Structure 1
Amino acid sequence: MQTSRSALGYRPRVGVPVRLSSSSNPDPRVAKANALFEHIVELLREGGGEPVPLTAAGPDDAGLTAAMESLDGVVLPGGGDIDPVRYGEPPSAVCYDVNDAQDELDTAVATFAIDAGLPVLGICRGHQLLNVLYGGTLIQDMAPGAVTHRKALADGTGSWAWHEVAVQAGSKVAALYGSEADAVTVKIASGHHQAVARVAEGLQVSAVAEDGTIEALEDPERWVASVQWHPEAVELPAGERLAPFRAFVEVCRNRP
């Protein structure tokens, strides 16, 4: 019998779909995404949760279904680009690490969690995946603009482009950063070359960059939220890294 979430010492079980591309891939962004996955797992554990890596041998894998049925929430991490076919566009040469198995796994986990009423937090690719899953589209490669959203590969793949985002007062994302009633400005670690284009029906924008880039989304009807940035970046102060993950674990603990 599953332990009650109100029990003393209970650690909410938070599913995180694994990254399926090998770090030996010649594109160094793949190894970076895999390392960030591990940081998310560590932060969920440090924040009081029990991270549950999720993988699947196939679309109807019984083990994946059983694992998901035990969850209290889900985090959708960063990674390679979503196949543009999934939002009705032909693939572009600028897309990297497009992996149909990864798209299938992440979509299966997200769909299950939303249907089950579990809290869902999307990060970078996870933010984009939720918009696509809800019916929105993506910018396949962002043109340079007033805000630098990524460093060129030649600048070192370990470096981030740092800039501020304005988070809407009363939003789920604001609450993750400790502010429920007031708007909050967050300095973020940014490394994306894609962004939300058309926002899906059923989602609303909860954070933007100075150039208007959509940096966070949420579903007003359920606890589903996403951020384009990387709150798990190791360059952030330890307390700032941990805070949103600890807050999300509490959302999972207190879900209906």
Structure 2
Amino acid sequence: MASTKKAGGGIVETIKTIFYALLIAGVFRTLFFQPFWIPSGSMKDTLLIGDFLFVNKMAYGYSYASCPSLYLPGIGIDIDASDICGFLDGDNTRLFGSAPERGDVVVFRHPVTGRDFIKRVIGLPGETIQMREGVLHIDGEPVELTDAGTFEETAEPQGPQRLRPRCANGPVGDGGLCVKERQTETLPNGVSHDVLNIANQGSDNTPVYTVPEGNYFMMGDNRDNSSDSRVPQVAGGVGFVPYENIVGRATRVMFSSAGSSMLFFWTWRSDRFFEKIE
């Protein structure tokens, strides 16, 4: 009898330990830092497919988007932040809120799909944004661009999704050198970062967008390979991003793997470990 009671007590203690561990992890992820794995090349060369980082949720305060989400389509799990904290959605405010600055790299919930996206803050509330012949204009003024050579990578499937890079030097076979033109863009507040160019395309010339109050205009650094605010939501794009949809700021790459799995240690990019995001 004593042995049975001891075994039963051991099971209860194990369940309690697991419960408290999950609770602590949930609180940590909700209030402080959220892990994020870069799935696409829309932010090259600032962020590469396979970069792993933590998103600082304390940077801009808290909203419904601060609640964790879990998307595992392979086993039918799709829990969005609004499923847990939807009662906080809709007023476009934040608790302990502070505004993102132009040039910040942020994770946000897509205004329509709810999926996590990572882009750079380009346009602030009340400003006008336009692309003209591949040059960003803010309130009618072109930003400063300087040549920064080229960005080169191997033409091959990348990451778990096995995405192939687009190249400025045309279609390139597996193992070939994929080249993109690179420029350094300096925003009006002095923040500088690299942007990549692949080809002349529709997103290089846009209408004038006026950013509504309480919203932000987001763009990827890999300008010709980014779904962002340049395409309105009604056309299947991101459109303007409400303040409450911002999850947090990305500040540093913690780990990076060039392979289809982080377990493939021979594909790790050790030169990117703990790299600051600018």
Compute the TM-score of the two structures, normalised by the length of structure 1.
Answer: 0.32
Structure (1 or 2) with the greater strand fraction: 2
Larger Rg: 2
Compute the TM-score of the two structures, normalised by the length of structure 2.
Answer: 0.30
